[in-house]
Homo-oligomer: A and B are copies of this chain.
Amino acid sequence: MAQKGDLMTVRHDIRVLDATLRDGGLVNNFYFTDDFVKALYRTNVKAGVDYMEFGYKASKEIFDADKYGKWKFCDEDAVREIVGENDTDLKIAVMADVGRCDYKNDIVAKADSAIDMVRVATYVNTMPAAIDMIEDAKNKGYEVTCNIMAISNAQEGDVRTALKMLGESPVECIYIVDSYGSLFPEQIRRITELYLEFASIYDKKLGIHAHNNQQLAFANTIEAVASGVSYLDATMSGMGRGAGNCSMELLLGFLKNPKYKQIPILKFLEEHMLGLKKEGAVWGYDIPYMLTGQLDLHPSSAIEAVKAGRTDYKEFYMEMVDR
């Protein structure tokens, strides 16, 4: 596969998406202060970030609104309170999970919303529902992307079918998602090649959402860039479920487009991210996450182990391989 651009190239197709509130929200049940969220918004505007994902559009019929911060639901009012008319170049995104979002009711027409983009998240086996959500969001006037999750555990034949269905849908961008943090750069290159096969037929963009279980979130993201992926997810300090994501500060240090500025990010890290850690939010590379990544398992057991303060790594490993 030919490399797309090199280290000196400005790639005008690239879009950086800050997923701190959404994937980071999985760490603290979406309890971010308004002060934090406003500062993050201003930081992303200054840093030239293209999209800021505010959280999920989760259904309050399914989830108890008293048990989560407001970014689990991203009500219009909540978003408006932060962004006003959002008279900036930063676009606003939300994620909508198949089966957890009452999209027909909770996603209003784009004309009435501060939100610009709906990111539909699905497993391979729930593609028909995902397609319905994509069409719904598109008809309402949104940009729409789709994350196919947990592909490291899926059959290639099923992934091909999903890509064809997405190709024929009105989705704009298809995301490669390494949910378990199990993929190596050479696999990312191979997967990108597969996705590009469909993306070029159907004229879609590709994105990547990586996890850091094996300290490869940044590496996999920049390898995907070199292979032709355009939409790049990152979070401040890599904040995200379990081992976390690709760090914004690493990504903006790599991208050569002068529109991206690192200094606002550095300010935000010192003024806001250190505080979150001090208050007890826990994320980032650790041995239990590494092990579930290496074993291509969902990180839930590792998250439990880290929460419980377990450091009996060998025992944890044996539990993972014996189950």
Binding site for B on A (CB under 8 A): 3, 6-7, 184-187, 212, 214-220, 222-223, 226, 247, 249-250, 253-254, 262-263, 266-267, 269-270, 274, 285, 287, 290-291, 294, 311-314, 317
Known: A7-B186, A290-B253. A263 touches B215 (CB 8 A): no
The complex places the Cα of A294 from the Cα of B222 at a distance, in Å, of 14
Q: Once the chains bind, are B314 and A184 in contact (CB under 8 Å)?
A: no
Contact of A219 among B216, B226, B266, B313 (CB under 8 A): B216
Give A42 Cβ to nearest chain B Cβ, in Å: 15
A185-B223, A263-B317 are known contacts; what are 5 more A-B pairs with Cβ within 8 Å? A3-B186, A7-B187, A215-B215, A215-B217, A215-B218
From known contacts A270-B312, A290-B249, infer whether A186 and B226 are also in contact, taking CB-CB under 8 Å: yes
Residues of chain B lying within 8 A (CB to CB) of residue A222: 184-186
- Number of copies of this chain that the complex holds: 2
6 pairs of residues in contact across A and B, judged by CB atoms under 8 Å? A6-B186, A184-B222, A186-B222, A266-B313, A266-B317, A270-B312
Complex: how many Å from CA A220 to CA B216?
Answer: 10
Which one of A222, A249, A314 has the highest number of Cβ atoms from chain B below 10 Å of its Cβ? A314
Residue pair B214, A218 in contact (C-beta under 8 Å): yes
Bound complex: CA A285 to CA B263 (Å): 19
- CA of A223 to CA of B186, assembled, Å: 8
Once the chains are docked, how many angstroms separate the CA of A285 from the CA of B215? 10
Q: Tell me the minimal C-beta distance from A195 to chain B in angstroms.
A: 19
B313 and A269 contact, CB distance less than 8 A:
yes
A10 to chain B, nearest CB (A): 16
Q: Closest CB-CB distance, A232 to chain B, in whole Å? A: 15
- Top 3 closest pairs, chain A to chain B, by CB: A219-B219, A253-B294, A266-B313
Say yes or no: B247 contacts A215, CB within 8 Å. yes
- With both beta carbons as reference points, the residue of chain B lying nearest to A238 in the complex is identified as B215
CB neighbours (8 Å) of A218 from chain B are: 214-216, 219
